[in-house]
Each structure stands twice: as structure tokens, then as C-alpha cells.
Structure 1
Amino acid sequence: MSGYVARMRHDGPPGRSAEYDLLVGSAARRWASIDPLLPEPSHPRLSTHPLLTVSDEAGRPVAAGTMRYSWYQPGEVGRTWGVPDQHWLTPLVGGPDPEGALDSLLTSWRDQLEKLPSGTGSESAAQLTWPSRDVCGVRPLQRHGMQPITVLAARRQRRGVPPSLPPRDVTMRLADIHDLAVVVGLIMEEHRYEEFFGGVFVQPETPEQTRRVVSRALTRRPSWVWLAERRGRPVGLLWVSPPERARWAAPLVKAAPAAYIGYAVVAEEERGRGIGTALVSQAHQAMDSHGIAVTLLNYSVMNPLSGPFWHRVGYRPLWTTWEIRPALALR
């Protein structure tokens, strides 16, 4: 690792084009060998974001990372989903020693964060997303103090448990605009539960922001929001974004088309009774019949319910987001 040289660039990718292609090709081969669902790695593009590069003793690039900063002021929707000051690194790591290259890249990132005049206080975080099966990254990420916080999980078409019927007195249907208050209430219950795990921060504006998003979704036909009711009382929901409304997720996975499950909620007093499994089964049948090749969703690593449930119904980790708070705690 001591032979690596790190630089920050604002004017273009590191080294000669052919050498940079070697870095991308090296990362692509490693990704393809560890996980067939990973997409082809893309070339970082310098626009308004600086690029960190790590080169070996011969000057060949072995790692690159695009730095991005987001700031959410009070009242913004993004404030519900994280701390106000978010520092992101998008890493691309190759070469014969990806563990050492990533370690050097993280050291360089820490040095750059220390030079920033603001945005690194107590309500800040340093974050990056790493392929879940690329285990060579785990030790350097841990050495630098980062911890896994969320997983993007994937399910291939027709994978998972066999179709499941709901409990005898539970019915399921697609929600519509008349269910607005019910759907918002269930989602806010989920938000409040997720606050325990540090990934959601309910703000005074969150209920109204949620109501506006739900209202748009429920006016569509079909809504792709399934509602479970026990004798007419709402007890759970599952909200799917079909491929045309999940285009942002398409570059994260090789299979296509891709759908995304944004919410799966079962009321606290109803958990463990098969309602969640029945909702997922209903949604899976609909997605499989529409030819959706892969379904994605996020869950918190610390949530004791989410991971076991989603693994049981056919999902497995694809990408893991690592984080450290505050950003300057990065070692």
C-alpha cells in the first residue's frame, strides 16, 4: 500500500485513456466473477465533482473515486432520509490488490474531507456504496471506521417462496385514492419504526410530504400499492414502483427490466401472522406476470425484522451502503 500515490483531479480522468480502461476492465472482471447481477462498472465523469485517483508505483491507476456533497436544509424531503450534510464517494477499484487500493483511496478521501471549510460537523456523514459480495472491501472499510447501514437486495423473476394465501379473515386489494389516509398512516408507522436504526429522521413536514407522494401514486391505474385488510381494517401494505417509475434503479443491476419495492408495512400488532408474506406473494405474482426480471428493495442492516424476512422470500444482498458519522470520524 505504501507504493500507491493518491491525487485529486478536477480536469479529467487519471492517466492515459488506455490505462484508465485497464482499471475499468479490471473492476468489471472482478464484479462479473463475484456476482452475475452486478452491472458493468462505468467510467467516472468529471463535471462539477472532483475525482480522487490512486496510482501504483508505475503510475497506473488502480482506484478512482468521485466525491459528491449533498446538503439538505430543514423542510426538504431529503432530510427525512439522512443527516443534513452528506459526503458521498463513488469508488472504482481494480488492479492486483483491490484491498490495498481501496484503503489508499479511503485515506485520500479522509484527507480531502479534513480540508473542507464546512459541512463536516456533528450532523454530517461520509458514505459510499460497495458490492455486497465483493468481500475484499470489508476490511479496509472497517479499518477506516465505516459500518454497513443499508442493503439494496435483489430477487430474480420467479424466485422466492411458493404463492401464499393471506389468513382467512384478511383480504388484499389494490389501493386507490380513497385509501389515502390509510396508506399515509401505515407509511408513517414504518417511518417511526425505522427511526430506531438511524436511517430515517421524521421531520415536522414528513407527514404532509408523504401525503403528496402517496396521493400521486394512488391516482395511477393500477396503483401498484397492495393493501391488506382484516375485516375491513387496514393491517398492511406493499408499494411497488414498476420499471417505468424505477428508472433510477436500472443502472444498479444487470438484469432488466427492474422494479423497486419502496414500502412493505405490517401493523405492529399484526406481525408474525403471514400478512407480509401474503402481500409479497401477491406482488411477486403480478411482477412475474408482467415479465419483470428483477425486483430491488432497501432494508436497514440493523432492523431485526427486515433482513430475515426479505431473505426468506427470495431476496439477497446486491449493494451495501457503508457510513460513518460525523464525516471527520473517518480514519
Structure 2
Amino acid sequence: MGGYVVRVRHDDLPGGPAEFELLVRSAAHRWRTVDPLLPTPSHPRPSAYPLLTVSDEVGRPVATGTMRYSWYQPGEVGRTWGVPDQHWLTPIVGGPDPGRALDSLLTSWRDQLAELPSGTGSESAAQLTWPARDVIGVLPLQRHGLLPHSVLAVRQQRRGVPPSLPPRDVTIRLADPEDLPQVVALLMEEHRYEEHFGGVFVQPETADQTRRVVARSLARSPSWIWLAERRGRTVGLIWVSPPERARWAAPLTSAAPAAHIGYGVVTADERGHGIGTALISSAHQALDAHGVAATLLNYAVMNPLSGPFWHRMGYRPLWTTWEIRPALALR
């Protein structure tokens, strides 16, 4: 590793608090330079999760990576949203040669995964999230076999297409509790389509789990779920979590307040007629009126419909999740 030293720590920070603060500042400066909508890097907690550290030849930390592991049992909600066995690395990379530091960090992570006694079978993945515009990480990630899997995209206030009226015979309205069956049916159609891209795995429990989540959202007023109807038939929806329901999204961007779009769905036979544009127009008008500075959403890299649509609507990549399956395939 060209003189770099890698350690695994559980109870302290590399080089002491002062040296570690310099590393975080270095990473924060690069993030601000490549993308002002990125947040300030969070300080990891080595007492909570194992922490890989990469130091240069004189002992100064140039990268850290928090290692986290998740296992989802049959029947758990998380089983729908990825492989059961998930190994995550949260990197903070700085110093004068961040590409080299990231490469060393990934090599050490590979070695740590290889030493695990179990939990890295065929239904496993090694995953990390990297700033989309920080292109210095692309080649090291590729060299270790990781591939871009999904994108977290962002839209700033009042960006995107002008307000759009729905097509003739289509009405847009907020959903209420009476719409529960129609909303669940649309979401299950979306889940089954997303299965093609390896990010969703419909389980026997998925429909019931979806119904419970939708029922809670529809019980709120307003629901922040807009429906598109053509002659009384539900043909699409947009589901928004405003800032007070999307607090988990706040640390993902420097812009505040931040909202999140969980679903944008149009039935297969109605795509291409402007219904999706009309739905997102209704949502954007509400978000802009509420002073939401940034709206976030996720889409699969390989989905041929999502990326082009959301880019037209004013969204662009902020974070990219890279992964490799199974986890031990990491090079």
C-alpha cells in the first residue's frame, strides 16, 4: 500500500482528536469544492462501530471507514429492500492523495470481510455511498470490483420544469384513507418493476407491510400523496415526505429544510402521456410553497425510466451507492 498503514480501532480515533479533525476538514473542503449541496462529513464513533484507519508514512490519518453490518431475518421489512446480508463502509477520505487513500481503505475492508467467520454468503453485498461529483473515487471503486447501483438525487427549490396541467380527462388530487387499496396496488406494481434492477425483492409479507405504512400516511392530513385519476381509475401517484416526516434525510445535504420523495409511479399503460410530469408539478408547487430548500429521491442506476425522467424534472445526482455481490467478491 505504498507506505500507508491501516488499523482497525474500536475505542479511539486515529492520530488523536487534533489529527482526526484535520482529516475531517480536508474531506469537508473537498466536498464543498466538488458539490456545495453535500453536507459536512459526520464524525464517526469508534466506540459504536469498528473503524478502519489509513495513515500516511508519518502517522497522519488520511482516511477512515466505519464498518457496519445488517442482517435481515425472513419477514422483516428490510428484506424487501436488499439482500439479507449487508456490509456497509462509511468512508471519510482526505489528505493530498485521496484516491490512493481510498484504495488502501478498500483493500483493508476486503481483508476484514475475508476474516469474518460467517455472514458473507451468496445473499450478501458490500456497499458504500460516495459523493456523485467526487470523481476521484471512481477508479479506486472500480478497481475493487464495486459497481454503481443506485443514486440519491437532489432538486433545489424552484428548479425543474414549469408548472404543468394534467392531460385531458386526468385529475390530480391528494389521497385520503379511502384510497388505501388503490395506493397499495400502485406501489406493488412499482415494487415488481424494481425487482428487475436488483434493489427490491418482493416477499410474501411485502403487500401487508406496504399496506400498514400507507395506512399510517393516509391517516395524516394532508397525506402528501397525490393521485392521478383518468375517468375514475387511479393511474399514478407521487408520495412525498415533507421535512417533518423526513428528518433522516437532513444529514444527507447542506440545504435545509429537506424533503424526500419515496415513490413516483405511473401505470405501464399510461406512461408517456404527461401524467408523471403533472404529478410532480403538484408536489413541487406544494414543496416550494412550504419553503423546502432541497428535495431528495432515490432511483436505480439501471432503471431506464427513472433517471431520464427525474433529470428532466430538475433533479441531479448527489450521492451514488456502490456495491458488489457477494461481499467476498470485493477485490
* Structure 2 match to 1:304: 304
What's the CA shift for 1:120?
A: 0.3
Instruction: Determine whether 1:119 maps to 2:119.
Output: yes
Letter of the 1:269 counterpart: D
* Structure 2 match to 1:182: 182
Distance across 2 between alignment mates of 1:325 and 1:51: 22
Other structure's SS at 1:32 match: helix
What's the CA shift for 1:9?
A: 0.5
How do residues 78-89 of structure 1 correspond to structure 2 at under 5 angstroms?
78-89=78-89
Which sections of structure 2, spanning at least 5 residues, go unmatched?
A: none
The C-alpha deviation readout for 1:151-208, integer Å capped at 9, x for no partner, is: 0000000000001111011001000000000000000000000000000000000000
What's the CA shift for 1:18?
A: 1.3
Letter of the 1:225 counterpart: I
* Structure 1 match to 2:173: 173
Distance across 2 between alignment mates of 1:13 and 1:187: 44
What's the CA shift for 1:47?
A: 2.8
The C-alpha deviation readout for 1:212-241, integer Å capped at 9, x for no partner, is: 000000000000000000000000000000
Distance across 1 between alignment mates of 2:217 and 2:47: 33
Letter of the 2:91 counterpart: P
* Structure 2 match to 1:98: 98
* Structure 2 match to 1:325: 325
How do residues 178-217 of structure 1 correspond to structure 2 at under 5 angstroms?
178-217=178-217
Letter of the 2:305 counterpart: L
Other structure's SS at 2:178 match: helix
Letter of the 2:285 counterpart: Q
* Structure 2 match to 1:228: 228
How do residues 29-178 of structure 1 correspond to structure 2 at under 5 angstroms?
29-178=29-178
Other structure's SS at 1:41 match: coil
Distance across 1 between alignment mates of 2:19 and 2:47: 21
Other structure's SS at 2:276 match: helix
Letter of the 1:278 counterpart: A
* Structure 2 match to 1:269: 269
| RMSD over aligned Cα atoms | 0.6
The C-alpha deviation readout for 1:63-111, integer Å capped at 9, x for no partner, is: 0000000000100000000000000000000001000000000000000
Letter of the 2:86 counterpart: Q
Between 38-47 and 256-265, the greater mean CA deviation after superposition: 38-47
* Structure 2 match to 1:23: 23
* Structure 1 match to 2:290: 290
Distance across 1 between alignment mates of 2:69 and 2:323: 14
Letter of the 1:74 counterpart: P
Other structure's SS at 2:24 match: helix
Other structure's SS at 2:70 match: strand
The C-alpha deviation readout for 1:239-288, integer Å capped at 9, x for no partner, is: 00000000000000001000000000000000000000000001000000
What's the CA shift for 1:48?
A: 3.1
Letter of the 1:65 counterpart: G
Other structure's SS at 1:163 match: coil
Other structure's SS at 1:101 match: helix
For these two proteins, the number of residue pairs brought into alignment is 331
Distance across 1 between alignment mates of 2:149 and 2:169: 37
Other structure's SS at 2:287 match: helix
Distance across 2 between alignment mates of 1:33 and 1:293: 20
Distance across 2 between alignment mates of 1:231 and 1:80: 33
Distance across 2 between alignment mates of 1:255 and 1:11: 32
Other structure's SS at 2:130 match: strand
What's the CA shift for 1:17?
A: 1.5
Distance across 2 between alignment mates of 1:47 and 1:303: 38
Letter of the 1:140 counterpart: P
What's the CA shift for 1:11?
A: 1.3
Query: Percent of aligned pairs with the same residue?
Result: 80
Other structure's SS at 1:96 match: coil
